[in-house]
Structure 1
Amino acid sequence: MKRLYKTLSTLASVSGSLLVLGAFIALWWAASTGGWVNRAFLPSPQATLESLVQGLASGDLAAYTWATLSRMFSGWLLASALGISLGALIGASARAREWIAPTLEFIRPLPASAVMPLAIALFGLSGNMVLAVVAFGAMWPVLLATLHGLAHVHPQLREVSRSLELGHLNFVFKIGLPNAMPDILAGMRLSLTVSLIVSVVGEMIASQPGLGQAILLAARSFQASELFAGIVLLGAMGFVSNVLLALVERSLLRWQHP
């Protein structure tokens, strides 16, 4: 009975999501075909789909998509590695948190776009510049999540580590990081979204091959259907990557959902 209820609840959720998506597309179609907005700025869903299929078939849009995906995942992996390492280093030590936390709170609010001029000065208008900015912007959700998870290890677990005479590194790897894993995975999901956003912005500013550059060029040449095709593709990329990471998170944390 419980499994049946869960299945029905999932079907209801999926049906509701599809209904909202259908309503959005219908409103989009009505706005474009009914003359609410000039078609030069708002193409119809059919025109957008045609541009999307044509771009993927010709290979240009597929190449741009691959470039953005590569940049996004490379920056995300680098950000995750840096965030977990720094978060574990700082979060495992109360004194380190006291000393470093003010500096982190000073740097953390800086938007990645504000750091781009500095990155351009250091790396030039290159792919490495975009990668560095993506890693900087996407690092913070993982770092703060790791820091929070390690700082809030249950006192009894700390007593167990002292009773077992675990060293600092053993405590981090055997108790701290496993305890912080739910926070870390949640931070990594948010970080993946940030990495996609910063990748697109970086491609626009640095004129690097990718969907950001394709969307910018389409906007400048008033090719609305190609512009919307790129936006739809970005949304699909973000949705699919988030779903896949959510499945991985659910698999790794299945002990939390008996």
Structure 2
Amino acid sequence: MTPRRSAMALLEPLGLLLALLALWWAATHGQWVSKVFVPTPEATLESLLQGLGLAPGGGDAAGALARFSLATTGRMLAGWGLATLLGVLLGALIGGSATARAWLQPTLEFIRPLPASAVIPLAISIFGLSGGMVLAVVSFGAMWPVLLATVHGLASVHPRLREVAAALQLSRLAFAWKIGLPNALPDILAGMRLSMTVSLIVSVVGEMIASQEGLGQAILLAARAFHASELFAGIVLLGAIGFVSNALLALAEGRLLRWQRR
């Protein structure tokens, strides 16, 4: 890619973002929408900086958004890590056996479409309104992209590689570790990126329902109090967390899959 095309690839998304910000500014300052529900960009930025403790003012809420962001990020990462571990382990067990796939595929297809929010009442009855409940629901919702990606990656191993493994008398564990999982790595990494997004969404929903400290609870309380600028500041932070986490995973994916471009 030439430097000119690289610059254009960077400027085009930036131009779209600036256009959306300009539309937001015009809609609020032109009284197209009520500022009670949609604050100005300046008010949102002020609430964001005060909530992060980067600007004076804010009273007792100064720095609260930073604490809430850390809580939500920690909850998201814990659920995502547990979901990734369970997804890879179960996916390797199922994907490495044609018999297991034949028996379990219908059950997986039945459970997979269930939204994570649908199991929240069951999780509450088991764990109560606690952080453990949120972690369990996040892990359940975020596990499926990784599990199904792992199953697909192991099931799509080339038959010649299976013949080589049989000729070398590799055990199922050795086959999965040396052949299956490396072959499934691109699928697993793609599933992990999707799983990260799901874990952030479910973490916020769980915080709202279980009244756990985090951005979900902060956004809900701001909405109930009609503090539109604080509500939008929380939404901006959620977008930033999602963007940064996805960018870091994309960078890691690019490094881990460099061998594909050789």
Which category of TM-score, normalised to the shorter sequence, fits these structures? over 0.9
Structure 1 residue 10: deviation in Å? 2.6
Give the structure 1 partner of residue 163 of structure 2.
Answer: 159
How many Å separate the matches in 2 of 1:7 and 1:141? 36
The two structures have a TM-score, normalised by structure 2, of: 0.96
- AA at the equivalent of 2:185: M
The correspondence of residues 1-258 of structure 1 with structure 2, limited to 5 A, is: 5-57=1-53, 58-258=62-262
Give the structure 1 partner of residue 58 of structure 2.
Answer: none
- AA at the equivalent of 1:215: I
Describe the superposition over 1:58-82 as per-residue Cα deviations: whole angstroms up to 9, x where unpaired.
2211100000000000000000000
How many Å separate the matches in 1 of 2:7 and 2:128? 50
Between the two proteins, the alignment pairs up a number of residues equal to: 254
How many Å separate the matches in 2 of 1:204 and 1:59? 20
- AA at the equivalent of 2:259: W
How many Å separate the matches in 1 of 2:202 and 2:6? 33
Structure 1 residue 8: deviation in Å? 3.2
Structure 1 residue 12: deviation in Å? 1.3
Q: More deviation in 207-216 or 159-168?
A: 159-168
Structure 1 residue 130: deviation in Å? 0.1
Structure 1 residue 102: deviation in Å? 0.8
How many Å separate the matches in 2 of 1:182 and 1:170? 19
Segments of structure 1 that go 5 or more residues without pairing to the other structure are none
1:257–1:207 CA distance, 2 compared to 1 (3 A): same
How many Å separate the matches in 2 of 1:208 and 1:49? 25
How many Å separate the matches in 2 of 1:84 and 1:10? 36
Identity value in percent: 69
- AA at the equivalent of 2:177: F
Segments of structure 2 that go 5 or more residues without pairing to the other structure are 54-61
Structure 1 residue 6: deviation in Å? 4.3
Structure 1 residue 162: deviation in Å? 1.1
The two structures have a TM-score, normalised by structure 1, of: 0.97
Q: Which aligned runs of 4 or more in structure 1 are off by greater than 6 angstroms?
A: none
Give me the CA root mean square deviation: 0.7
How many Å separate the matches in 1 of 2:173 and 2:77? 28
Describe the superposition over 1:110-165 as per-residue Cα deviations: whole angstroms up to 9, x where unpaired.
10000000000000000000000000000000000000000000111111111111
How many Å separate the matches in 2 of 1:207 and 1:92? 41
Structure 1 residue 13: deviation in Å? 1.2
How many Å separate the matches in 2 of 1:251 and 1:38? 47
